[in-house]
Structure 1
Amino acid sequence: MKQKTRIEILQRLQAHIKDPTTELVYHSPFELLIAVLLSAQATDVSVNKATKPLFAIANTPETILALGLDTLKGYIKTIGLYNSKAANIMKTCQILITEHASEVPEDFNHLVALPGVGRKTANVVLNTAFGWPTIAVDTHIFRVCNRTGFAPGKNVEVVEDKLLKVVPDEYKIDCHHWFILHGRYTCIARKPRCGACVIEDLCEFKDKVYPE
């Protein structure tokens, strides 16, 4: 794909998606970190349903630890992989207290050192909580970038590296959210809504789907 086409795609998504931010509900970097940890293989809607009552009584490392593992599991049991996620959250809270003065570190290497935190989670926190020009690549973004030809790659790290190279600096803050929302509501996995797509004519996908 030519760079001129990429910029046109970004401009159209910018005009179309007026509020490019996460759909996870949070009020602090710590709440966002926990929400993103829980969102792996789960929908934002399901995470928000679980975190609303949880954060109402425990939204700091200390208060989460005070709940205890079993009580925490009770709050997040509707979310997939809740046993391992609860264990990681408890370990993460302890590390935040002992090593980071109970604050979420604004540092990629410190973030990925936390239990359950990978590249995607770290980049989401840095971008959304701290305003870094990072581009986290999840399944939606991976699909959109490969399907459209915007930044194809065999794995998420290759796609992330390509995006960081081809996305101009002025678009990097919002690029993650544009692509994830586009992938969630328009360029969906099984039956993309090509007829309602604002970048349909710029997309290189050969098997486009249109309503009958």
Structure 2
Amino acid sequence: MSVAAKKRTGVQRARRTSRLTAAQIEALFARLKALNPKPTTELEFTTPYELLVAVTLSAQATDVGVNKATRKLFPVANTPQAIAALGVEGLKPYIATIGLYNTKAANVVAMARQLLDQHDGQVPRDRAALEALPGVGRKTANVVLNTAFGEATMAVDTHIFRVANRTGLAPGKTVRAVEDGLLKAVPAAYLHDAHHWLILHGRYVCKARKPDCPHCAIRDLCRYPDKTPGEPAPLAD
């Protein structure tokens, strides 16, 4: 093996195995909390059902795009009864600006009917029941359980997956591995809000193509070997 190949292999091995210590993880979340004491989703909602619909619509779409659609939809239909009454063809015009809207319309209407048939029109506070709804997977169930019902779940999306691996917080090859790693690694005091902090950090700072490392509050803790060059921004008083 060439020297260059050995070097690459060494870097890859370091990326796979380098993890933050418990003290570093504590410091990481303390800093994120100081910057944003009460984080929450950027999706707009007022009830658990509105949140469930919004999260279902957000797959492969931006929160901004979903909010634009639900600002028109929810004043007209924001209950399972109203969505079921709209039907698929009636729902489509409200969400046509969102990617995969045909499939999402079918799922949201089927979800509404299932909630009416099996749960008296209420969003269940149960993972298995949530995941049995059309269009609802583990990530969506985790968001609803956390944000609507206050449970300490970890909804791993692409942002959290990236941040967990880059920083060394909870490296993993799959979304479920990262979720399980985070649930073990994140201190209990931070667990309820952790996925919001990590999503926002990945969305606005630890971006996929060009992370804003010079303005990152956890730059000195992060194990990512390819940090964006630049002098760290001074800490605010």
Question: Normalization by structure 2: what TM-score?
Answer: 0.88
1:51-200 to structure 2, matched below 5 A, reads: 51-200=70-219
Alpha-carbon distance, 1:18 to partner: 3.3
Alpha-carbon distance, 1:17 to partner: 1.8
Alpha-carbon distance, 1:71 to partner: 1.6
Alpha-carbon distance in structure 1 between the residues aligned to 2:76 and 2:229: 47
Alpha-carbon distance in structure 2 between the residues aligned to 1:211 and 1:25: 35
Note the alpha carbon deviations across 1:55-80, whole angstroms, 9 max, x for none: 00100001001112112011001000
Question: Normalization by structure 1: what TM-score?
Answer: 0.98
Matched positions, count: 212
Alpha-carbon distance in structure 2 between the residues aligned to 1:16 and 1:183: 14
RMSD (CA atoms):
0.9
Alpha-carbon distance, 1:50 to partner: 0.1
Equivalent AA in structure 2 for residue 55 of structure 1: F
Equivalent AA in structure 2 for residue 182 of structure 1: H
Alpha-carbon distance in structure 1 between the residues aligned to 2:205 and 2:40: 16
SS in 2 for 1:64: helix
Q: Percent identity?
A: 60
Alpha-carbon distance in structure 1 between the residues aligned to 2:77 and 2:109: 12
Alpha-carbon distance in structure 1 between the residues aligned to 2:120 and 2:179: 31
Alpha-carbon distance in structure 2 between the residues aligned to 1:31 and 1:73: 17
Alpha-carbon distance in structure 2 between the residues aligned to 1:18 and 1:58: 33
Note the alpha carbon deviations across 1:68-99, whole angstroms, 9 max, x for none: 21120110010001011111101100110010
Alpha-carbon distance in structure 2 between the residues aligned to 1:193 and 1:18: 21
Equivalent AA in structure 2 for residue 77 of structure 1: A
> Higher Cα Rg: structure 1 or 2?
2
> Any stretches of 5+ residues in structure 1 without a counterpart?
none
Residue in structure 2 matched with residue 19 of structure 1 by the alignment: 38
> Any stretches of 5+ residues in structure 2 without a counterpart?
1-19, 232-237
Residue in structure 2 matched with residue 28 of structure 1 by the alignment: 47
Equivalent AA in structure 2 for residue 167 of structure 1: V
Alpha-carbon distance in structure 2 between the residues aligned to 1:141 and 1:68: 34
Alpha-carbon distance in structure 2 between the residues aligned to 1:160 and 1:131: 17
Alpha-carbon distance in structure 1 between the residues aligned to 2:81 and 2:215: 47
Equivalent AA in structure 2 for residue 176 of structure 1: H
Alpha-carbon distance in structure 2 between the residues aligned to 1:140 and 1:37: 17
Equivalent AA in structure 2 for residue 63 of structure 1: A
Matched, 1:7 2:16: no
Alpha-carbon distance in structure 1 between the residues aligned to 2:38 and 2:184: 24
Alpha-carbon distance, 1:3 to partner: 1.0
Task: Assess if the C-alpha contact under 8 Å between 1:193 and 1:210 holds in 2.
Answer: no
